[in-house]
Structure 1
Amino acid sequence: MEVELRRAQVFFPASLEIQEELLKAGFKVPYDRESGKKTPIPVVVSSREERRVRRGRLLKARDFEGDGKFTVVPGERSSLELELTERGFLVLRPRPKEYHLEELGFVSVPPRVWGTWASFSLPFSAYDGLVEFLGDFRDGGGNGFYTASRGSGGRIEVYTYKGRRGKDLGIPVFGYSLGLHGLTLAEEYFREKAKENGVPEERLGYLKLGLKKRRETRAGLKVGIVWENGRPVEITLKLSTTEPRVKIQGLYGELVGKSRGELTRTEEWHIVVHASDFITALETVGKAFGSNPY
């Protein structure tokens, strides 16, 4: 089964592992005060709706218009492929067919201490198809699942969690792989930055700019529905990791944060969960207001 995504965002700046890999190779990450050279780690963004971005935050895009201060990136295409295995696992494969790269910009909380670092949004019209596709894995359970919500104005986000131990995570994730390899714009970006930083271009072939789950990584997938003005509009999936903690030596001292996984070279994006967990989470969050959101 394949579904078009409304939006995909992977915050690679949240990874101290990738930052350390680039620092060791000679890149100034994120910024060198003396030389003024900088290499912000890209956020990979794909949005079906056009996106208005400050000019300084747009690192790379195939197509955009701008007035000097802001740029407008036209709508982009991405999809999510869902594959069921014989052992009852669900493999989610995000595919950024069209995308751009952004600099994270200033945030009050450093991304290295965030829980969530990758998010994918589907149109709510995919709900029925997902429930039908996963119907054979419905186990009639739901015990241990509960919902939490947050909202402002006419927008309410409702998420499902499995058990108190996973309160800040969602449903258990058994594997994942996300990376900057195989993305043409990312390859172009790092070639340009290698030249700017005086890094031999051949060194790029040895870099590991992907992440995969380690055995000790505590990871989860939040499954949610976003409501606007009383109507469900999208299904959201958010990948989070919280443990273990890692330390690296940054340009200006030691940095401590949450591990995002083991460094790897990969062009494949995937997240693995139990199919029964996914459908139970989806239906639980769908009934958050007392009935199925049809």
Structure 2
Amino acid sequence: MELGMRRMQAFFPASLEIQEELLKAGFRVPYDRESGRRTPVPVVVGSREERRIRRSRLLKAKDFESDGKSAMLPGERTSLDMELTERGFLVLRPKPIEYHLEEMGFVSVPPRVWGTWASFSLPFSAYDELVDFLGDFRNDNGNGFYTASRGSGGRIEVYAYKGRSRKDLGIPVFGYALGLHGLTLAEEYLREKAKENGVPKERLRYLRLGLRKRRETKAGLKVGLVWENGRPAEITLKLSTTEPRVRIQGLYGELVGKSRGELARTDEWYIVVHAGDFITALEAVGRAFGDKSY
């Protein structure tokens, strides 16, 4: 089953592994104080709605309008393919068909210490279709799940977690792969930055800019609903990792953060969870505020 997404974001700046790979290749990541050259690791973003961002944050886009200070990006197309296996696993395959690259804006907490580093959003209209698709895997004993919510103004986000021990993770993730390989805009961006940093272009073919789950990686998928003004608006999926911790030597000292996985050359994007966990989590957040008025 394939569904159109409202929005997707893969925060590759959260990966110290990718930053170290670029540093070893000779890139000055993310900022060289002496020359003033900036080589930020890109965030891959796709949004169905038009978006306006600061022009300085836009690293690469296929089509946009700009007044010099801001950039207006047209609606983009992304999709999420869902595949069931004979052993009861659900394979989620995000597809960034149309997307752009952004620089991470200033945040008070460095991305390397975040839990969540990739997020995907589906319209709430897909809820019933998802429930029907996964109905055979429903687990009537959902006592091991709980929900937590947060809100601001007319917007409330509620997420499901499998057991208290999985705080901030969601449901177990058994495998994943996401990366910058195979993305035309990312390849163009890196070629430009290689020239700017004096990195031989031949070196680009050996870079490993994809991430796969390692055996010791503690990973989870938060399944949630966003409510706006009293009505469910979208289904959100957030990929998180919390352990182990990694250390790298940055340009100006040692950096410590959460591991995002094992470096790999992959242009395949996927996340693997148990189908029973996914539908139980989805229905748990669907019941969070009683009957859904839609």
* Range into which the TM-score falls when normalised by the shorter chain: over 0.9
For 1:45-84, what aligned pairs fall within 5 Å after superposition? Answer: 45-84=45-84
> What's 2:31 paired with?
31
SS in 2 for 1:290: coil
Match of 1:115 in 2: 115
The equivalent of 2:266 in structure 1 is: 266
Deviation, 1:114, is 0.1
Q: Does the alignment pair 1:14 with 2:8?
A: no
SS at 2:77 equivalent: coil
One-letter amino acid of the structure 2 residue matched with residue 146 of structure 1: Y
Contact kept, 8 Å, 1:286 with 1:293, in 2: the verdict is no
Structure 2: stretches of 5+ with no match in the other structure:
none
How many Å apart are 1:291 and its aligned residue? 2.5
CA positional deviation for 1:9: 0.2
How far apart in 2 are the matches of 1:187 and 1:140?
47
Structure 1 match to 2:43? 43
Deviations 1:107-154 (A, max 9, x none): 100000000000000000000000000000012121110000000110
Q: Distance in 2 between matches of 1:168 and 1:246?
A: 19
> What does residue 103 of structure 1 align with?
103
Query: What's the TM-score once normalised by structure 2's chain length?
Result: 0.99
Task: Give the CA deviation at 1:37.
Answer: 1.5
Unaligned runs of 5+ in 1: none
For residue 254 of structure 2, what is the aligned residue in structure 1?
Answer: 254
Q: Structure 2: how far apart are the matches of 1:202 and 1:188?
A: 14
How far, CA to CA, are the matches of 1:137 and 1:13 in structure 2?
36
| Native 8 Å contact 1:28 1:197 kept in 2 | yes
Task: Look up the match of 1:283.
Answer: 283
Q: CA RMSD in A?
A: 0.6
Determine the C-alpha separation between the residues in 1 that align with 2:239 and 2:135. 23
Contact 1:287 1:293 in 2 (8 A): no
CA apart distance, 1:35: 1.2
CA distance in 1, matches of 2:292, 2:142: 15
Tell me how far 1:293 sits from its aligned partner. Answer: 5.4
Report runs of 4+ in structure 1 exceeding 3 Å deviation: none
Q: Which amino acid aligns with 1:51?
A: R
Residue 193 of structure 1 is matched in structure 2 by 193
In percent, how many aligned pairs have the same letter? 83
- Shift of the alpha carbon at 1:292? 4.4
Report the 3-state secondary structure (helix = DSSP H, G, I; strand = E; otherwise coil) of the residue aligned with 2:141: coil
Between the aligned partners of 1:99 and 1:156, the Cα distance in structure 2 is: 27
Contact 1:181 1:266 in 2 (8 A): yes
| Aligned equivalents of 2:175, 2:10: Cα separation in 1 | 16
Give 1:225's aligned residue: 225
* Displacement after TM superposition at 1:183 (Å): 0.1
